Amino acid sequence: AQKVTQAQTEISVVEKEDVTLDCVYETRDTTYYLFWYKQPPSGELVFLIRRNSFDEQNEISGRYSWNFQKSTSSFNFTITASQVVDSAVYFCALSEAEYGGATNKLIFGTGTLLAVQP
Amino acid sequence: DAGITQSPRHKVTETGTPVTLRCHQTENHRYMYWYRQDPGHGLRLIHYSYGVKDTDKGEVSDGYSVSRSKTEDFLLTLESATSSQTSVYFCAIKRGREYEQYFGPGTRLTVT
C-alpha cells in the first residue's frame, strides 16, 4: 500500500538558518510521482514541485532544493537561509501511475509545521 | 491561479442535516477531486471525477456522495452530517497530462 511519512511534526528555526524537511514514502509501483505542497497560515495549498520516479536528479529553485533518493525512499526538501515568509505547513505527497496516471490520486503525509522566527 | 472557487467558504450546521459543498472551475478540466484535511491526517481523498457523470470513491468516502452534471461543477454532499465530518474540505483539479493537482481555497465546515 502507498504511504507517506513526515516524521517531523513541527520544526522551529531562526531566520537565515537552513532547514530540511524529511519525507519517506512507500509504494510497490515502479512508476510513481512525488510532490511537495506549501500551506501558509492563510490556508491555501500551493504546489511547489513534482518529481517522477525515473528522474532522480536533484532540483534547486532559488532557496529551495529537493533531494530524491530511491535507495532510501526519501524525497527531502531543504530551505536555505530561511525567512519568516517560509513559515507554513509543508506536505509531501505520492501518486502512483494508475491507469497511466489518469486518476492520479494523491496520498499525503501528515505535514510538517515550519516556524521561522525573526 | 487555477480558476477554482468553492462555496460556501464557511458553514456551521447541525448534526443530521444535509449539506452540499460546491466546487466550480473555469478552465474545463476533466479531473476533479474532493479532499478533507484534519489534524494528524494531512489531506485524504473523498471522491474524484474523471468526467461528467463519471465519479469514483477515494479513501474516506463513507457518508459522502458526489455529483458532476457539467464539467465546471463538482458537488460534494453530506446526506446527514455528523460531528466527525467537521473538517476543512478542499477541491482540486488536474490539468491534462500533468500529474500535480491544484487546489481551491477550501471550505471550513463545522457540524455541531
Which percentage of chain A shows pLDDT scores above 90?
A: 79
Task: Decide if A91 and B43 are in contact by the 8 Å CB cutoff.
Answer: yes
Dist. CA A24–CA A66, nearest whole Å:
13
Which of the residue ranges A18-27, A84-93, A106-115, B90-99 would you say has the lowest mean pLDDT?
A: B90-99
Task: Decide if B58 and A105 are in contact by the 8 Å CB cutoff.
Answer: yes
Which candidate in B91, B99, B103, B108 is best for mutational testing of the A interface (most A CBs within 10 A)?
B99
Dist. CA A80–CA A91, nearest whole Å:
18
- A42 — phi, psi (to 5°)? -70, -15
How far CA B78 is from CA of A26, A38, A112, B108, in Å, comes to 32, 28, 29, 14
Which candidate in A6, A105, A107, A113 is best for mutational testing of the B interface (most B CBs within 10 A)?
A105
Q: State residue A99's pLDDT score.
A: 55
Q: pLDDT at residue A89 above 60? A: yes
Q: Shortest CB distance from B31 goes to which of A37, A104, A110?
A: A104
**How far away is chain A from the Cα of B106, in angstroms, using its nearest Cα?**
7
Q: pLDDT at residue A100 above 70? A: no
Q: State residue A27's pLDDT score.
A: 92
Task: Specify the higher pLDDT residue, A98 or A118.
Answer: A118
Q: Please give chain B's pLDDT, 112 residues, in tens.
A: 679 999 999 999 999 999 999 999 999 999 999 999 999 899 999 999 999 999 999 999 999 999 999 999 999 999 999 999 999 999 999 987 778 899 999 999 999 9
Instruction: Provide the pLDDT confidence category of residue A23 given band limits of 50, 70 and 90.
Output: very high
Instruction: Provide the pLDDT confidence category of residue A73 given band limits of 50, 70 and 90.
Output: very high
Identify the CA nearest to A59 among candidates A32, A38, A78, A87.
Answer: A78
Q: State residue B1's pLDDT score.
A: 63
Identify the CA nearest to A46 among candidates B36, B40, B90, B47.
Answer: B90
Q: pLDDT at residue A78 above 60? A: yes
Q: State residue A57's pLDDT score.
A: 85
